[in-house]
Structures are given as C-alpha cells and as structure tokens.
Amino acid sequence: MDKDSYIPKVVEWVKRKGYEQIKANLEGFEVPIAYERQNDDERFIPDVTAKLLYEKSYFEVVLKTDNPDRVVSKLRLLSMLASQKGGRLFMMAPSGHLNFVKELALKHSISGEVVKIA
C-alpha cells in the first residue's frame, strides 16, 4: 500500500482520540498548510493536523524507504512546529514499518510518538 492509502486510517485514529479541526492531505478535507524550507524552497505538507483543546498536533504516515533524508527533514520540521504550538508529533507506522520508524526517530533525535496503525 502507498502512503496515501493510510491517511484515512490516521484520520479515524485522530477522531477516536477526540481531536477537532482536523485537516488532512486527503480529498474531502481542508488541506493542511504547506511549510517551505528557506535554504532550498522544498515544500512539506503534513498528512494530518488536528487540535486537542488549544494544542495543534501533527500526524505523519512514515514508511520504510531506502533514502530517508527527505522523511527526516519533514519529521524534524513537524516536530519543531508541534513543540512551538504546544502539541505533539505522531509518527504513524503501519505494520512492518514500526521498527524502521522507531530507529529513524532515535537515530535522528526526532521528538514525537510512534503509533502503530493497521
């Protein structure tokens, strides 16, 4: 399955946890704000954003990849944004990708919670 096919599962998880003002990079939802890196103008759009009380959190589907540099850049950015807004970064990992995501977060000191999704 590709990354986009997991986003509806993430949205359902977010709803079950009581989050509101859900934005998703998915048809039928308002798309989250894109963030652009100044040094190379690369754009990152979070998979899902939502608020719980006044805290904005970011939810990103992370899959195994041979070239994790872009993923690491995006996760670092989202982690920083989440901490600035009092929220959290959730790295959503499908079965078979969980250990990769945990190792990636540990190796690159990415602050956030790894969550297994079906």
pLDDT in tens, 2-29: 899 999 999 999 999 999 999 999 999 9
**Residue 91 structural domain:** 3-117
pLDDT of residue 46: 95
pLDDT of residue 13: 96
pTM for this structure?
0.93
Domain CATH number, residue 21: 3.40.1350.10
Domains of the chain: total: 1
What is the per-residue pLDDT across 52-107, written as a single tens digit (0 to 9) for each? 998 999 999 999 998 899 899 999 999 999 999 899 999 999 999 999 999 999 99
For residues 69 and 113, what is the distance between their CA atoms, to the nearest angstrom? 19
